Amino acid sequence: MTNANDIIKQSEEILVNTYNSQPVVMDHGQGSYAYDSEGKKYLDFAAGIAVASLGHAHPKMLETINKQAARMMTCQASYATAEKLEAAQIIVDNSCFDLVYFANSGTEAVEAALKCARKWAYENKSKSANEIITFKNAFHGRTYGSASITDKRRTQAFFEPYLDGVHFAEFNDSASVNSLINDNTAAIIVEPVQGEGGLEPANAFFLAELRKLCDKNNICLIFDEIQAGMGRLGTFFAYQAFNIDGTIIEPDIACIAKGMGGGFPVGAMVAKKPYGAAITVGTHGTTYGGNPLACAVAATVMGEILSDGFLDHVNKVSSYLVDGLQKIQAASGKITDIRGKGLMIGIDTIFDIKELLRALQDNGLMATQAGKATLRLTPPLNVTMEDAQQALITINKTLNEMK
């Protein structure tokens, strides 16, 4: 049997170097736990970066995968299937949106949203209305359109030229956005919680101002909910977690993925009809998107998220974790900030983030880095209170051990 070091070394030799290798080889998972090839157990508070929304090997997901794979995994996107209709109906019935376009990933959902917004603006504003306003520290994906509206483009000139007409505003600063609006502005795209930007939540008043600016200037408002959506903030869609005096702030288009499939590749662009109707036959499409297997899994996962008590549990665990982290912060003095919303929690500490992640992993807790120095906790949404308590114990123990 090949040992872990050999697997890591051979992988580094044959795979394109997109990530720094972890020192262990992952083997399998069960519930909120992952196990490496040596049998070590980890409490998984990374969940594939907010992907494993129901944890590992969820029985209902496994049942769906096995049953649907035996029936039909794929067919041409021009065919209707009961699975595609069911998944789309769940989205429409539980949101402000009317139309659904299924893709395979978050970055594909963003690409569809950009094309949709630009075509809508071309037809409803002017042929030159193609500019996009995005935000500093934003992350929207790695394909060319999504990379063009991601702040990282500033440090990756080797991929130029990016899309023209992209402007970066200050996050949570509506005046900054207003200063960039002109007659050619087609859309504003924003993350309700900036994921790679360090788990920075949008202010509800800021989102409300974006809505007003878009209404006033005939601009499409896009929410990138890829990391924050599908139950992660304690609501089905992320936008539903933001309101002013009880009025929810609705976007025109939203992008979802990650937790929607619980680990199975699936994403979607969802839109209100006036905007989604801009995409017509021949203007966009996909080979794999909306395949019966992906849609069956997505329907199962979304059904669980919408089941009685599920989102209440997310909010209870979130409050428990934040309260526990604040107690650790007060007692240790080693946590400098706690941010986020729902089960999307960011922690800044006095330690180097990479050293902290390694120390946590050594102590049996998996987490990820967000931004330059933020510890990101995105556990499965069905994580138990006991496992949340264990995570707090491990974080406290690790911080106390580090010098």
- Domain check: are 277 and 364 in the same one? no
Q: What is the pLDDT of residue 320?
A: 98
**Is 18 inside a domain boundary?**
yes
Q: What is the pLDDT of residue 1?
A: 52
- Domain check: are 230 and 349 in the same one? no
- Domain check: are 124 and 243 in the same one? yes
- Domain check: are 103 and 203 in the same one? yes
- Domain check: are 271 and 371 in the same one? no
Last residue of a domain, one of 289, 305, 321: 305
Last residue of a domain, one of 305, 331, 352: 305
Last residue of a domain, one of 305, 335, 354: 305
DSSP 3-state assignment of 397? helix
Distance of alpha carbon 334 from alpha carbon 118, whole angstroms: 47
- Domain check: are 238 and 116 in the same one? yes
Q: List pLDDT tens digits, range 64-116.
A: 999 999 999 999 999 999 999 999 999 999 999 999 999 999 999 999 999 99
Token pair recorded at residue 53? 């929304």
Q: What is the pLDDT of residue 2?
A: 74
Can you tell me which residue has the tokens 């007003």? 212
pTM confidence score:
0.97
Q: What is the pLDDT of residue 197?
A: 94
- Domain check: are 10 and 130 in the same one? no
Q: What is the CATH number of the domain that holds 53?
A: 3.90.1150.10
- Domain check: are 367 and 258 in the same one? no
DSSP-assigned letter for residue 202 = P
- Domain check: are 46 and 86 in the same one? no
Q: What is the pLDDT of residue 403?
A: 83
Angle subtended at Cα 290 by Cα 286 and Cα 294, rounded to the nearest 5 degrees = 125
Which domain range does residue 39 map to? Answer: 4-58+309-401
- The b-or-e profile of 295-323 (16+ CB within 10 A means b, else e) is bbbbbbbbebbeeeebbebbeebbeebbe
- Domain check: are 109 and 195 in the same one? yes
**Is 321 inside a domain boundary?**
yes
Q: What is the CATH number of the domain that holds 163?
A: 3.40.640.10
Domain count, the chain: 2
Can you tell me which residue has the tokens 């960011």? 346
Angle subtended at Cα 98 by Cα 279 and Cα 94, rounded to the nearest 5 degrees = 140
- Domain check: are 120 and 25 in the same one? no
Q: What is the pLDDT of residue 8?
A: 92
- Residues with Cβ within 8 Å of residue 351, at least 6 apart in sequence: 334, 399, 402
**Is 142 inside a domain boundary?**
yes
Which positions of the chain have pLDDT values less than 50?
A: none
- Domain check: are 43 and 140 in the same one? no
HSE (side-chain half, CA atoms, 13 Å) at 326:
7
**Is 353 inside a domain boundary?**
yes
Helices first, then strands: H and E counts in the chain: 13, 19
